[in-house]
Structure 1
């Protein structure tokens, strides 16, 4: 059985799909939990999700039983919140305007069936709505206010409220959804778990290259996972998996964070977890965190409009200024003099109320130590690009020049480097991190902690080779097995 469709009455759902079993809500609520496998997917198509109704309890108990309901109780509650329309408007305003542009009248109602719309021009909007509120049947009402379309209300549709003209389309959308990923490839008995790997095929500098992704896939399958590569359009499918591995560059105001947050809420084991993304993505937080844990870092100053005049005295020249969410050498600027300082600070403070300033402490290379679950995993030396002060030199036309690198066995990494790297990673969390450090003899300073470190074929895996991928996937196995035991 691939999934369970739960309805109020068997007559509500006449569709027969291989691998899908239909059960009444009352039968589901009264059955002994061990009758069904623990991680079965439950598609709740009850007529009402009102608080303490039968439909509400189906999703509630499905979560308690280790099943994976759609919608889950959190989504049901989200749909009831008064602020749901404003959340929708903020998230997908541009898509709303483009999809509803040139419509006559001042009101419009859009029905969404398993992420699809009967009207072709609204397909992208329907998918986005489903991604935000993963429920099988949704209805969204829009009003035209002034010059823009705005969401007036959003909520689930009862099966009995689906227009007769939409029934056939709804059934086909259900077939598409149920068979999209699971049915074409039969799950082997040796696969104990489902792993989703989130990637972006269009990303220019992903955290893992294509060969590394294939090795992650092969290793995971060898360790008992069925693996699916997913992208940002698969948000509505997150609950179908046991674990999520994010191999796309993460950010807080980004779909990667929403994936991580929902995966954690659904009970998946997730790397990177949302707390790690929140903590590591912001240099202001990291600076304060390192200071609180007394972990050495370059002399650091939190810069705001009230202390700009003190920067030169505190940090001297040259100094380095960073926007809080800087990544991969972007948003990190070396300032040579007072005039340049004023210009750069002004620009950075237009984007963030607080930015980071650090003393400039040059080295020939930076250490990157990969730490997993508090244990050092791999180490690399990344050398500065030729005639540049950073590992990556970026040109105005998008071109980049990278310095050389070498990969070092963990046991050959100087003890102070390993020690500080583990301390910094543990301060952030217990998942997978890349800690960047500068070494001055026995003195080691943390530059930053990355929640989404590179694991590339031909770079980070040069020492451990296939064992690197195995140790990372084994982390998911340990966490999943521990969850089952508890």
Structure 2
């Protein structure tokens, strides 16, 4: 992805970065050569982003041309929105206090240059503001009443940067653009045609992909002409630099993973997991209704609330499984074997949700896990129950998690009805990447749940396909990114 810096007067822009072209705003909006460029990142450093100003049209036309502007029109509007200011103030409350708590005055101005501040102690706050409002140069005003709060935030032109800040601005701008050239532009990166961000969390305990799998995804992407970079939650402002986002961190709706997905989709990136899939898969109430509506085999299910707990045994019997609507990977899931346990566990789960899912207990030695991608089966595994437990994972007394054995199976050796049910269930969620859990007991097939963000670990889910598993995932990204670039809708 090539980089343009757009300013009002290029002759007054003192920064020179190899491979980065500095152009005038008038030239960018009027010269035909810029309309024909593809895969361009535009850093808009005009004097003003006021509605219908030259700076406003630079970002507007960049979006129309399929370029990736910073700031985007959405960010420009967000910077003017009192509602967005309040949301940012609430979201950053703790970070603001950590950063400004020891300041003696009751007012404070924070300059944010490419996500950095002159004082290293304010870098965390500066980066979070940059992630919320991705614009190259920002000025934030804070006021202290009982606590510190964000009073205003606005973009600033280069000309308004104080003279004593200029050396620091040049330093961080050079670092930023040099980093973007290494990480997002294709310079020195072979023949890559597209850039893919892989969101991961190195500190996560139960990662959806281990380090070996992440490295295999990166190598597979490179084989197909895609440059894949690992990013973390601190790289929110970088999303617009990429053509695709692959989420390899456990997803939740009220979580930064969902915000990443929403933002990437809004920016026109190819996204797996897409926002709709995260919402649908994260809620067992939706899944229960979907499986029932489409007549897909599943355990007897009852949606319980505080006024109908006593009806649960009538519909699902004992023992039964109780689930929080947003439960994931065996957490927030309980088994009740008698009325007293049912009452206690249901009341406990209802403290966090108005509804609880109750299902008949279908015992088995293992669950079939069918990986589904783009409407087709990708891999099949047997997830065996943890030793001495009724789930695939259990927590020991010391707090450690123990997993059952994972056994990869060739797709054509798995029961056809199991694979068919999994693909059919996933089709009613979307066309992304899913892990469908299925039981086959006494000749019957039961879809237990459909998960977005399924585990793909080196040495486990890839045992049968090897590198081809990673290539198939990257091929889907490639096909969709090519379609986006050519302006075609996927069919």
Change beyond 3 A, Cα 1:198–1:309 = same
| CA offset digits 1:384-426 (Å, max 9, x no partner) | 1122110111124321222222111111121211111011111
**TM-aligned CA deviation for residue 67 of structure 1:** 1.0
* 1:91-130 equivalences in 2 (<5 Å): 91-130=91-130
* 1:203-222 equivalences in 2 (<5 Å): 203-222=204-223
Name the stretch that deviates more: 54-63 or 404-413: 404-413
Matched-pair contact (CA < 8 Å) for 1:416–1:443: no
Change beyond 3 A, Cα 1:183–1:375 = closer
Change beyond 3 A, Cα 1:161–1:394 = same
**TM-aligned CA deviation for residue 359 of structure 1:** 1.4
Q: Give the secondary-structure state (helix, strand or coil) at the position aligned to 2:195.
A: strand
Change beyond 3 A, Cα 1:331–1:192 = same
Name the stretch that deviates more: 440-449 or 365-374: 440-449
Query: Quick one: distance in 2 between partners of 1:359 and 1:336?
Result: 11
Query: Quick one: distance in 1 between partners of 2:24 and 2:180?
Result: 25
Partner of 2:163: 164
Structure 2's unaligned 5+ residue stretches are: none
Change beyond 3 A, Cα 1:24–1:79 = same
Query: Quick one: distance in 2 between partners of 1:106 and 1:340?
Result: 55
Partner of 1:361: 362
**TM-aligned CA deviation for residue 34 of structure 1:** 5.4
Query: Quick one: distance in 2 between partners of 1:310 and 1:160?
Result: 70
Change beyond 3 A, Cα 1:215–1:140 = same
Change beyond 3 A, Cα 1:229–1:73 = same
Partner of 1:86: 86
* 1:68-79 equivalences in 2 (<5 Å): 68-79=68-79
Matched-pair contact (CA < 8 Å) for 2:2–2:39: no
Query: Quick one: distance in 2 between partners of 1:264 and 1:426?
Result: 20
**TM-aligned CA deviation for residue 460 of structure 1:** 0.9
Matched-pair contact (CA < 8 Å) for 2:35–2:65: no
Structure 1's unaligned 5+ residue stretches are: none
Change beyond 3 A, Cα 1:294–1:154 = farther
Partner of 1:293: 294
Matched-pair contact (CA < 8 Å) for 2:41–2:69: yes
Query: Quick one: distance in 2 between partners of 1:57 and 1:419?
Result: 50
Matched-pair contact (CA < 8 Å) for 1:438–1:444: yes
Normalising by structure 1, report the TM-score. 0.96
**TM-aligned CA deviation for residue 329 of structure 1:** 0.9
Alpha carbon RMSD of aligned pairs, Å?
1.7
**TM-aligned CA deviation for residue 79 of structure 1:** 1.5
**TM-aligned CA deviation for residue 450 of structure 1:** 1.0
Matched-pair contact (CA < 8 Å) for 1:40–1:68: yes
Query: Quick one: distance in 2 between partners of 1:423 and 1:177?
Result: 46
Matched-pair contact (CA < 8 Å) for 2:385–2:404: yes
Query: Quick one: distance in 1 between partners of 2:300 and 2:162?
Result: 65
Partner of 1:422: 423
Query: Quick one: distance in 2 between partners of 1:453 and 1:121?
Result: 38
Q: Give the secondary-structure state (helix, strand or coil) at the position aligned to 1:407.
A: strand
Matched-pair contact (CA < 8 Å) for 1:187–1:226: no
* 1:32-47 equivalences in 2 (<5 Å): 32-33=32-33, 37-47=37-47
Partner of 1:199: 200
Query: Quick one: distance in 1 between partners of 2:386 and 2:393?
Result: 6
| Structure 2 residue 468 is matched with structure 1 residue 460 | no
Q: Give the secondary-structure state (helix, strand or coil) at the position aligned to 1:103.
A: coil
Query: Quick one: distance in 1 between partners of 2:293 and 2:175?
Result: 52
Partner of 1:447: 448
Partner of 1:174: 173
| CA offset digits 1:280-303 (Å, max 9, x no partner) | 112222222222222222111222
**TM-aligned CA deviation for residue 12 of structure 1:** 4.4
Matched-pair contact (CA < 8 Å) for 1:33–1:65: no
Query: Quick one: distance in 1 between partners of 2:13 and 2:343?
Result: 67
Query: Quick one: distance in 2 between partners of 1:482 and 1:33?
Result: 23
Partner of 1:190: 191
Change beyond 3 A, Cα 1:90–1:309 = farther
| CA offset digits 1:456-476 (Å, max 9, x no partner) | 111111111111111111001
Q: Give the secondary-structure state (helix, strand or coil) at the position aligned to 2:92.
A: helix
Query: Quick one: distance in 2 between partners of 1:253 and 1:23?
Result: 41
| Structure 2 residue 74 is matched with structure 1 residue 67 | no
Query: Quick one: distance in 2 between partners of 1:280 and 1:43?
Result: 36
Matched-pair contact (CA < 8 Å) for 1:84–1:154: no
Q: Give the secondary-structure state (helix, strand or coil) at the position aligned to 1:180.
A: helix
Q: Give the secondary-structure state (helix, strand or coil) at the position aligned to 1:263.
A: helix
**TM-aligned CA deviation for residue 181 of structure 1:** 4.0
Query: Quick one: distance in 1 between partners of 2:86 and 2:346?
Result: 33
Partner of 1:145: 145
Q: What count of residue pairs does the alignment treat as equivalent?
A: 485
Matched-pair contact (CA < 8 Å) for 1:416–1:442: no
**TM-aligned CA deviation for residue 231 of structure 1:** 1.2
Partner of 1:391: 392
**TM-aligned CA deviation for residue 306 of structure 1:** 2.5
